[in-house]
Structure 1
Amino acid sequence: MGRIARYFLYLLMVFFVGIAMGLIYSLLQPEKAVEYMKTIAQQLGSLSKSPFKNFITIFVHNSWVALLTLISGLFFGIGPAILVMTNGFVVGLVVGVLWENGMPPRTLVLGLTPHGIFEIPAFILAGVAGVCWYKKIVEDKDRGRGFKEGASFALRMYGVVLAMLLVAAFIEAYITPNVASLG
């Protein structure tokens, strides 16, 4: 198995650990979980009635988070694991809080899955790009060449990430609200 696939699977496992931690936290500390969820919602801001504005807001926000995840790979290759786990924790927390407050499982699945199919792998791929960049620097015997090659590779991967996030934002803004309301 190649390096990229190994890093991807590792970060995917970290994401699922984060989800489990968020779910457990929401069950053990329901009041704190609700407060934390409210804080996150306030930081992200409210969405508009315009799907196009929501699409832009979601895409820009997620693009910045993905870039931060990529760049965090330069911090000894562990930054992406921390950010991916945090993202998973938030997903688990939100699912746990909504579940505890009576949201039907079908609505939860329909609210997360359509755009999550693109968004989650995109964030993980951004983390993989950052780790690969870091590894290229560490393995560089030519001093300086690894940084440039790693940066070039990371930017190409970030282009793929942006394309995936564009699709995810479109789905989240235009499709998810209609599909999730079926539950």
Structure 2
Amino acid sequence: MLEALVSRLTVKMRVAYAGALFVFLFGLALGIIFPAYFTSVVVPVVEKTFDHVGAINSDFELLALIFAKNCLVAVLVLAAMPAAALLARRAERCWVLKCLAGMGWFFGKALPVLALAINGVFIAWISVILYQDGLPVAVLIGGLAPHGVFEITALILACGYAFAGPADISSRARFFVRNVTPLLALAALLEVYVTPVVMQYLLR
């Protein structure tokens, strides 16, 4: 099944997905090699995240928050270029719209790169910090792999499609619903209900 799916991809899309994977791995490498450099940036984000999570009263609320956050990132990545194209079509006599269209085109290219690199840096940074604090590698893998495999796959799919897929909003909406949403829903379910169980088991 996977071979059939890959065989249907154009060379352009294969290159785009390979590029998305490379950017993510590059972010991972940066986070591993320079964890101290990113501490001042990442720590406030982690603290704010824990504040939000601490205010949540149920697993379902946490599930909804994780799913919504990840969907928002994917939607922004996929929608930036169609939004720029729409503005460009209506910008013939308005310099403000022309500027917005140019910014949209830039963010349409830059957002996928930023999303992939930031996720890579964050995962690597928190893994290095926890390992340095004495958390076993097996526990780190158990805390990331169950949901991370699906979440990162969804991100790479969204960003790769943003790099080289059709720029019309209908195609991107269909791609999001059919390919990205199911993976993000599964990732959120695993993160809330499975990952904690795996970590507790490994920490015994």
Contact 1:125 1:157 in 2 (8 A): no
* Deviation string, structure 1 residues 107-136 (Cα, Å, up to 9, x no partner): 100000010111001011111222235xx4
Partner of 1:175: 194
SS at match of 1:172: helix
- Note the C-alpha offset of 1:70: 2.0
Aligned residues: 165
- The match for 1:127 is 159
State the alpha-carbon separation in 2 of the partners of residues 93 and 60 from structure 1. Answer: 23
Query: For residues 161 and 173 of structure 2, what CA distance do their matches in structure 1 show?
Result: 8
Q: Check the 8 A contact 1:21/1:89 in 2, yes or no.
A: yes
Pick one of 19, 26, 36 that aligns with 2:28: 19
CA contact (8 A) 1:20 1:92 kept: yes
| Structure 2 residue runs without a partner (length 5+) | 1-8, 82-104
Q: RMSD across aligned C-alpha pairs, in angstroms?
A: 2.0
Cα 1:59/1:37, change in 2 over 3 Å: same
In structure 2, the residue matched to 1:40 is 45
Q: Which secondary structure does the structure 1 equivalent of 2:195 belong to?
A: helix
CA separation in 2, counterparts of 1:21 and 1:81? 14
Q: Name the amino acid aligned to 1:50.
A: S
Query: Aligned residue for 1:58?
Result: 66
Using the TM superposition, give the Cα deviation of residue 56 of structure 1 relative to its aligned residue in structure 2, in angstroms. Answer: 0.8
Q: 1:70 aligns with which of 72, 78, 101?
A: 78
SS of the residue corresponding to residue 27 of structure 2 reads helix
Query: Quick one: distance in 2 between partners of 1:41 and 1:79?
Result: 21
Question: Following TM superposition, by how much is the alpha carbon of 1:46 offset from its aligned partner in structure 2, in angstroms?
Answer: 2.0
Shift of 1:72: 4.5
User: Compared with structure 1, are the counterparts of its residues 38 and 49 closer, same or farther at alpha carbon in structure 2 (3 Å cutoff)?
Assistant: farther
Report the alpha carbon displacement of residue 78 of structure 1 after superposing the two structures with TM.
3.8
AA at the equivalent of 1:10: G
Matches within 5 A, 1:156-167: 156-159=174-177, 160-167=179-186
* Structure 1 position 104 matched with structure 2 position 136: yes
Cα deviations by residue, 1:151-176 (Å, 9 ceiling, x for unpaired): 22211111121111000000000000
Q: TM-score, normalised by structure 1?
A: 0.81
Is the 2:78–2:159 contact (alpha carbons within 8 Å) kept by the matching residues of 1?
Answer: yes
Contact 1:129 1:158 in 2 (8 A): no
Q: Normalising by structure 2, what TM-score?
A: 0.73
| Bigger Cα Rg | 2
Structure 1 alignment gaps of length 5 or more? 137-146
8 Å Cα contact 2:53-2:62 kept in structure 1: no
- AA aligned opposite 2:131: W
3-state SS in 2 of match to 1:77:
helix
